Structures are given as C-alpha cells and as structure tokens.
Copies of this chain bind each other. A is one copy, B any other.
Amino acid sequence: MSNLIEPKILKGFRDFLPEQEIPRKVLMEKLEEVFRLYGFVPIDTPVLEYSEILLRKSNGETEKQVYRFQDNGGRDIALRFDLTVPFARFVAEHKEELAMPFKRYHMAKVWRGEKPQAGRYREFIQCDFDTVGTDSAAADFEILSVMKDSLNALGVSGVTIHLSHRGIFNRFLEKLGIREKSEDILRTVDKLGKTGEEEVLRLLSEITGKPNALEIMEYIKGKDSFEETLTLMEEKSGGESPDSVRLKEIYSMLKNSGIEDSFILDPSITRGLDYYTGIVYETFLNDLPGIGSVCSGGRYDNLTGLYMKERLPGVGSSIGLDRLIAGLEELKLIKKTGSFTKAAIFCQDTNLMCEYQKIAAELRKNGISTEVFPEEKKMGQQYTWAEKKGIPFGILLSGNSLSLKNLKTRDTKEGCSLEEVIKALKEQD
C-alpha cells in the first residue's frame, strides 16, 4: 500500500473540527445578529481578484505575502489578503446600485503567506463592518456602539475602547512643524504598548529631535478624563477645530446612551496606517489586555480613490476573530461543544428502527436536535459515542414507554410518554 497519500494540510493552515468550528460559528452568528439589528447588511465578493486591483496600493511587505499566480487564461490574479480593498472595488463598481449611506458587514476568509507562528495563520477569517457615504458623528458613534454591543453579545462585559482622532494628531504635528514626518511618527507611537515609553521617546527623538519628542510624549499620554484629555489635545493642536468638535459630539452620544464608561480618550492610539483621517480606536478586554486589541478601526475620507474621482468617506471596524476567540477561551466565555445534539435515541433492536425514527421526528418537530444511533451495537459503544459528542440526554425505548437518561448524572426517568420526554427536554435550557 505504498500508494497511499499522507493526509496532511499546508503549514499555517487549519482544519476546524466540530469542537472548534461550532464555537466559531456560534460566535459569528451572535455578531451577525448585532450587525443586523443596526441595519448592516452582508455582501460577498470573489476570493480571487485581478492582482492589479488588490495590490496597487499595497506596500512591498504585503506584496510578498500575497498568494498570486496566473490562471489558465494567463491573467495575473491573487487571493484577497483583506476585505477592505475588495470592498473599495465593490463600492466603486456598484455605487449606482447602493443606497447611501451604505452599511455592510463581511465575514470571510483572507490569505497571507506570513511566516507561520503562534496565533498567526495563512488563512483566517476577517470580520469587517463599515458605513460609507456619510461623514457624520452619528455614523462614528454607531460603529462604536456596535463594537460595544457585539462584545456584550458574546458575554464579555469588561471591555475598554480606546479612542483618538487622527485629524487632531495631524494638526498637532502641523503645529510642531513636523507634519511631513507623520508616517514615521505614527508608526513609532503605535509601538507604545509593545516597547514602552522610554523606547518610543528614544525613537521619536531620532525622528524629530528631543524637544518635539517630549511634546509628543506629553500629548499621547493624555489626562485622566475624557474631557481633560480632549482639552489637552485642543490646546496642543491649536484650539478647537471641526475634529475636536466631532469628538465632543461623539462623546455626548456615548454619554447619552450610558456607555461612556467603556470608552477612554487615548491620544496614543494612531492605527499606523496612512489610510485613516478621523477617529481611530482599539478595543481591549479588561481581563486580558495583554492579548492586544480585539476590534479596531477608524474613519477614512476616501475609500475608493484608486477607482473613481468622487471621494467616498466612511468609518469602519474590524474584529480580530482568532485573537478574540483565543481571549474568550482563556476567559472561559466559550462553551466548548462538538455537537448541537440534545438527545440521542439508542438502538437496542434494529427491528425497532422505524419506531426510533418516529420518535426522533417528533422531537425535531419540537425543535429538539436529535440523533438516532443507526446500528444495533453494544450499549457501551453507543454510550461512548454519545459521551464523545457531549450529547446530554439519551432515550431508550422499552415496550411502549421511554426512558430518559441524563448522560452526565446517569439519572434515569423510566416509563415516560413521548410528551413527557419532549416536555422534560424543552425545560432544559
């Protein structure tokens, strides 16, 4: 049998067994429910696109990571490496068909040929939601509110969303006369969480000189309260501006909705990317800040610049699904289960299979997920199967009555009617 192929997957890729895929799906379904309550709608785009579309704006680092090849027709194509570029292409291509403001969510796989390492995969799901076609405080607030509600829906109560504004930061750099170095500065400030103050100060000094670096450090450290920090930001950036007014409007909506305690105005948040122009934010689990931001994003003023003349502003956010799931697992907020089945009907006599199937059909009609063990195997084997799948209840048919067995406690109720079994199972959460 040297002819057998070893069944193996590519490095950096993953199979999801039911005990991983069910929690992931359940989590995504909860997120979708929140998105839909806010009126976000799903779209889908092809996994493969012209390389020209995907890579035009990317830097060399991205390009090296992309799965790119020629198709049989000689076209230069690639697998998408994020959902933002395809969304920009989508909006430009279909702008006449979309009702603006347009709010979409997209949860789908993307691919990057990164060096595989702990928590980094070459195939992973991104979860993006954006509102485009409006530059309004209401849309900014709404994205923040969706973020908070999404994490609540997953059972996470303690989250802190760190918020800042790229426009104010740019005004501040302008005032210092170092606006042209903003990209390097942003990239450096973005490292604060990882490398610490001292190192950031050292790096900033190299870029801007020590006095400017000290100014920047003071700016990004902020103050104790939202209001005080906002005042500091205004002072350092030349006074009140449309950008700082925007932050005030957002803050008043947060207060009005009673969720302001979950938000911190944190001027050190910059989101390295050049792309953002308005508010920017990152989200941390209070009990696990160390894993980094689980949901980040910001406002941009020109999503579709590569494809059309008209500027299209928007605001969006992206949930880091793998990181979030890892965090929720550590916090024991994910119910580990490899099955949806609530009741297993055991098979003690194949001649009764029609009866077993009838009982199963009745349970399913009542919304109870039910499986029939399909063969007359030893009961020990059937119990092992149910246990391995984590099925909570077992049903045995004896004569005209049923026994309902709690497979964890082994408690058994004998002599039940079908109605009694259905009632008992429905009463279990």
Contact = CB atoms under 8 A, between A and B. Distances in A.
A118 B94 CA distance: 21
Interface in A115-172: 123, 131, 134, 136-139, 141-142, 145, 149
Interface string A265-308: 00000000000000000000000000000000000000010111
Given A15-B90, A374-B138, A7 B308 contact: yes
A364 B146 CA distance: 11
A167 to B, nearest CB: 18
A94 B17 contact: yes
A139 to B, nearest CB: 5
Contacts of A364: 37-38, 149
A405 to B, nearest CB: 17
Contact of A47 (B22, B109, B134): B109
Given A21-B41, A256-B357, A357-B256, A385 B141 contact: no
Nearest to A66: B72
A340 B307 contact: no
A357 B72 contact: no
Contacts of A347: 138
A320 interface: no
Most B CB within 10 A of own CB, among A21, A52, A73: A21
A355 to B, nearest CB: 8
A15 B94 contact: yes
A117 to B, nearest CB: 15
Interface in A191-221: none
Interface in A32-51: 36-39, 41-50
Contacts of A46: 9-10, 13-15, 123
Contact of A49 (B10, B339, B388): B10
A90 B18 CA distance: 12
Nearest to A1: B309
Interface stretch (A98-106, A182-190, A226-234, A408-416): A98-106
A334 interface: no
A218 to B, nearest CB: 32
Sort chain A's interface into a size bin. 35 or more
Given A93-B7, A113-B71, A358-B257, A39 B339 contact: yes
A346 to B, nearest CB: 12
Contacts of A257: 354, 357-358, 361
Contacts of A48: 10, 13, 67, 111, 123
Contacts of A94: 15, 17
Contacts of A242: none
A94 B388 CA distance: 14
A6 B307 contact: yes
Contacts of A149: 364
B256 A10 contact: no
A21 B44 contact: yes
A89 B39 contact: no
Interface stretch (A173-181, A323-331, A365-373, A392-400): A365-373
Q: Which of A15, A73, A308, A374 has the most B CB atoms < 10 Å from its CB? A: A374
Contacts of A138: 347, 353, 356-357, 372, 374-375
B385 A39 contact: no
26 contacts: A4-B307, A7-B89, A7-B93, A8-B50, A9-B49, A9-B89, A10-B49, A10-B75, A15-B43, A15-B45, A15-B46, A15-B94, A17-B94, A36-B369, A37-B367, A38-B369, A39-B340, A41-B340, A46-B123, A47-B111, A101-B385, A103-B371, A138-B372, A142-B372, A145-B361, A257-B358
Q: Which 7 A-B pairs have the closest CB atoms?
A: A69-B69, A39-B371, A138-B374, A16-B44, A99-B388, A13-B46, A18-B41
